Structure 1
Amino acid sequence: MSGKQFVHPYIPNSEPAVKRQMLDAVGMKSVEDIYEAIPEHLRFQGKMDMPEPIISEYSCQRHVEGLLKKNRNAKNNICFLGGGTWNHYVPSVVDTIMERDEFLTCYVGEAYTDHGKFQALFESSSMLADLTGFEACNTPTYDWANAIAIAARMASRANGRKELLVAGNMDPDRLLVVRNYCKPEIKVETIAYDKATGLMDLEDLKSKISDKTSCVYFENPIYIGALEIHAAEICRIAKDAGAYSMVGADPTSLGVMEAPAAYGADFAVGDLQPLGMHMSYGGGLGGFICTKDDKEFLGEYPSLLFGVCKTQQEGEYGFGEVYYERTSYASREKGKDFIGTTTALHGIGAAVYMALMGPQGFRELGEGILQRVAYSKEELKKIPGVTIPVSGYSYCDFMVDFSGTGMTVKEINKALLEYDIIGGKDMSEVFPEYGQSALYSVTEVHTKEDLQALFDALKEICA
């Protein structure tokens, strides 16, 4: 390409004629005019140390695949990571439907030509509502943390109160998002929990709840690996104080656990990832919010809701947006809250997964996970120096304490990689009261042979 201006093979706008056309359209002589407002001392001087572009598409593909081989993944390793993104089996038909052009390529699931997206999202919301025991469910938010924060703001608008109480045993990363999203209007306070059981301290809840409390949030299953057996009592305490209650739930657990609405909750939130989404380096997320079908709640949703509506053809029904004027799409700055891009595609994928599973499938899934987790906890306790610090039953996630081995979680996880095993999430910094503990996740993908491989490896490592 000697003597010619270089055109980057993967940046179409680098073609000189196209670049000139774009600059002419905005009345600029060069690209430099775009950056003239940036002072010289803030600009990078020199050439960035970057490799030249690989012209051959085949060579580029091989190069990227070579880089990706450096990663350890859940396909060629036995993976026990969880705590928010879980290693569940994804039926191939879920990927097939999600990759259909009319679903995959349309922004937010809202397109000028519908091609069935409204119905797909209506079905998804309906099945999530069935699982949680409610009637209304929104289009997906970014993730679980975002769903908590949005629902907290919904609750505050509904009852006019400005305080959110959250269980101290919740995911710390979710809590950071909630604190940030609720600023400055809503004060966020944590409730203590019992270290031995992982359960919320009801006396601390009673001492902190007041006529200022808008909502009480807790997770069931609990993030640190227990089941909140006081869920109904927490909801009752909140109601007696005139506050709402919000439950963060793993939707796959609701085939064997009571639905949040059945024990008195006002909101159910969680993530779609367990419902047919690949782990994707911690991605594949999409939050949901479920409530009763009352204007008290519907009027405060900032996100889109899809429902069945009449059409101009008598006797014919379609799928359309519910109470659209409350959204920022319709009312801009007068909307209930501001929303933007959603994870609607994951909502469609979740619909496929839930339809495939059905009630019996969810029950069998939940029972299988409970059995595997109980078995794993009993076997791990037999390894010298290893204990299970949180008592009671667990679903998917449970804590394993390695303090008695004299090794750190970091050291153990590094050693496990030599056995092609990805160990649990290191909890020693975020929950230091549990010492050198890791959060392990066991799901339906783990066979007895997988679990035995973990037990055998830990016996050798901890010896």
Structure 2
Amino acid sequence: EYQSMMAELLDFDVCNVPTYDGAQAAGTSLRMASRITGRKKALLAGNMNPDRLRVIQTYLDPVMSVEIIGWDRDSGLLDLEDLGSRLAPDVAAVYFENPSYLGAIEDQGEKTARMAHEAGALMVVFVDPSSLGVIQPPSRYGADIACGDIQPLGIHMNYGGGVGGFICTKSDREYVEEYPSRLFGIAPTSGKEWGFGDVAWERTSFANRETAKEFVGTHAALWGIAAAVYLASMGPKGMIDLGKVIMQRSLYARKVIGEIPGVSTSTPSAVCFKEFVVDLTKTGRKVREINGKLLSRGIFGGKDLSEDFPELGQSALFCITEKITMRDIDRLVEVLGDILR
């Protein structure tokens, strides 16, 4: 049931049993692309999650090289001119996140897919599943593989847990054969009834052990059950309502925070989902200092971007989910304004 609902949400034919987490799912997706195309290079968006980038680089290092694609500071979107200059016969996949780590919704998916496919590469897209009630799934704009993390699907905060990666593709054999994780499908039983069973068990790391193409575990599978309960409870309308609430509150937060003197929101022309960048450079304060004062008032400030994105100056990444109320946002603005006065 989990696999069926995830495949419906992503508008793909196949979805796997959860892998360790979203970063591992992204790494596996890119290694799948390498095996499918026979190529050894991945082009990754420069506006992606830096922690996820490090995991992917580690995971790909034995078999693939990585190049970073530039992105536009104003729109927050991929620099397609830079992408075009990097596409070559050795590129297996183009990878980007939608929404990006900095919150921008990537609306150039069709162009990116066309460029990748014309160069003989696949397109891999990492998505937030809670956005898919309001944003088209990657399959609709040409993605060959979609991946992500199921944490937003009703899974509570946890110290190092509460995560599980998903990978979705079409049902073509060349894709199915490259999943190292378990897949379940409908199969006839001895009594001519229908049951559920492993699909192509022999391709999994569990069956191949030391000769497997790569390895996955099953410890995240129970989070898949939790995500399935959440999806069944929400239903299609609930997922649409969820996406609308998040976008409306994010838009409101971005507007009112940007009205604080000395504060502005970066990527001004971007349409955002959950995350957005707040530029605090003109306040003359460091993000670390501001966050310390916010914490003393019971508020977690935005993530300091000065190390991973130094080109953004003293900027912070704020995130608004369905758990954040309008009252929470108003209090943040009041306290932040007080700190900066």
Question: TM-score per shorter chain, which class?
Answer: over 0.9
Give 1:167 shift: 0.3
The answer to whether residue 319 in structure 2 is matched with residue 319 in structure 1 is no
Once the 2 structures are TM-superposed, how far is the Cα of residue 334 of structure 1 from its aligned partner? 3.1
Q: Could you list the per-position Cα deviations for residues 358-398 of structure 1 after superposition, in whole angstroms to 9, with x for gaps in the alignment? A: 11001001011111011111101110111101122110111
1:136 is matched with which residue?
14
Provide the C-alpha distance between the structure 1 equivalents of 2:16 and 2:150, rounded to a whole number of angstroms: 12
Percent identity over paired residues: 51
Cα deviation, residue 225, structure 1: 1.7
Partner of 2:250: 373
Which residue in the other structure is 2:69 paired with?
191
Which one of 170, 193, 214 corresponds to residue 337 of structure 1? 214
The 5 Å alignment of 1:429-440 reads 429-440=307-318
Identify which of 213, 228, 235 aligns with 1:358.
Answer: 235
Aligned: 1:347 with 2:219: no
Please say if residues 21 and 163 of structure 2, whose CA atoms lie closer than 8 Å, have aligned partners that are also in contact: yes
CA apart distance, 1:128: 1.1
Match of 1:230 among 104, 108, 117: 108
Note the C-alpha offset of 1:331: 2.2
SS in 1 for 2:101: coil
The partner residue of 2:325 within 441, 447, 456 is 447
Question: CA–CA distance in 1 between the matches of 2:142 and 2:75?
Answer: 23
Alignment of 1:254-403 (within 5 A): 254-281=132-159, 283-314=161-192, 316-391=193-268, 392-403=270-281
Which portions of structure 1, spanning 4 or more consecutive aligned residues, are displaced by more than 3 angstroms? none
By how many angstroms is 1:282 displaced? 5.2
1:301/1:336 contact within 8 Å kept: no
Within 1, Cα distance between the matches of 2:236 and 2:218? Answer: 31
1:169 to 29, 38, 47: 47
Letter of the aligned partner of 1:165 in structure 2? Answer: L
Cα deviation 1:270-328 (Å, max 9, x = unaligned): 001000111113531111000001101000000111111111112x1111110000112
Corresponding letter in the other structure for 1:269: C
Structure 1 residues 266, 334: closer, same or farther in 2, change over 3 A? Answer: same
Secondary structure, in 3 states, of the residue corresponding to 1:166?
strand
Specify whether residues 439 and 282 from structure 1 end up closer, same or farther in structure 2 by C-alpha distance, changes over 3 A only: farther
After superposition, residues 103-252 of structure 1 pair within 5 angstroms as: 123-252=1-130
Match of residue 102 from structure 1: none
How many residues align? The count is 340
Which is strand-richer, 1 or 2? 2
Q: How far 1:418 sits from its partner (Å)?
A: 2.4
- For structure 2, list consecutive stretches of 5 or more residues without a partner in the other structure: none
In the TM superposition, residue 139 of structure 1 has moved relative to its aligned partner by 0.8
Q: Is the 8 A contact 1:139 1:342 kept in 2?
A: no
Larger radius of gyration: 1
Calculate the aligned-residue CA RMSD, in Å: 1.0
Q: Secondary structure of 2:265's partner? A: coil
**Secondary structure of residue in 2 paired with 1:395:** coil
- 1:112-133 Cα offsets, whole Å, 9 max, x none, are xxxxxxxxxxx11111111111
3-state SS, counterpart of residue 106 of structure 2:
coil
**Using the alignment, how far apart are the partners of 1:380 and 1:335 within structure 2?**
51
Structure 1 residue identity aligned to 2:58:
N
